[in-house]
Amino acid sequence: MKIDVLTLFPGMFSGPLDESIIKRARQQGLLELKIHNLRDYTQDRHKTVDDKPFGGGPGMLLKPGPIFEAVEDLATETTRVILLTPAGRKLNQAVVREMADCAHLLLVCGSYEGFDERVRSLADDELSIGDYVLTNGALPAMVIIDAVTRLLPGALGDDESALQESFSHGALEYPQYTRPASFRGMNVPEVLVSGHHAEIAKWRSEQAALRTKERRPDLLNAAMENEKALQKKD
């Protein structure tokens, strides 16, 4: 899969995308990632990317010109152009799966107070990673790249892939422990060291359900919808 990113802050992308699973996916050629500086698509001597809003008001907006130039340069017929904005559809694992099915994503990051409204006409989709104020769209782009990359076939090792199964049920994880069995007076639950595999499985599914019900009832509803959708398929 190919992902292009358009941003005013390409430097923010070095580091996070050069580590771990994303690094490996890039080396394996599963992910072809390119970061583009919006300023490179300006035409004027001062490389202007922003301007004042018509009608007045505080702050600056990204001008449409450089973004149109960039999208026309980077996107083809089959590219999914995604605008990152707090006004977008809220990202969740279903949306991530949708994105991972695309051959080519172009992620357009906002800056200043946002985009000139006409930029919206370029986008196939608008996404938000959640409700909080950010300084620009670089971190949302990286969140999407991270979540999508781990779904690319071959991106995860065997152990990591096995783990993915539990996530896809939509519930929270059960409590987990590693050695030592006793740490600072806190002990691993007896059942986990018992060796009774059936008992352990039962305990884990109870704990996962309990924890999800107590802390994230919203996930429980989503998990039940998932289950229903899966049953309808066969």
Closest separation in Å from C-beta 102 to ligand 4FN: 17
* Contact footprint for ligand 4FN (CB under 6 A): 84-86, 110-114, 128-134, 136-137, 140
HSE-CB for 220 with a 13 A CA cutoff: 10
**What is the rounded CA–CA span in Å between residue 214 and residue 207?**
10
> Which residues, 6+ apart, have CB-to-CB distance to 36 below 8 Å?
4, 5, 6, 7, 10, 70, 74
Closest separation in Å from C-beta 16 to ligand 4FN: 16
Closest separation in Å from C-beta 122 to ligand 4FN: 16
Closest separation in Å from C-beta 87 to ligand 4FN: 8
Nearer to ligand 4FN, 134 or 151 (CB): 134
Nearer to ligand 4FN, 130 or 180 (CB): 130
Closest separation in Å from C-beta 101 to ligand 4FN: 20
**What is the rounded CA–CA span in Å between residue 16 and residue 234?**
40
Q: 183 forms bridges with which residues in the sheet?
A: 186
Nearer to ligand 4FN, 83 or 100 (CB): 83
Nearer to ligand 4FN, 134 or 219 (CB): 134
Q: Are 228 and 170 in contact (CB under 8 A)?
A: no
Nearer to ligand 4FN, 69 or 116 (CB): 116
* Cβ atoms < 10 Å from Cβ of 63: 18
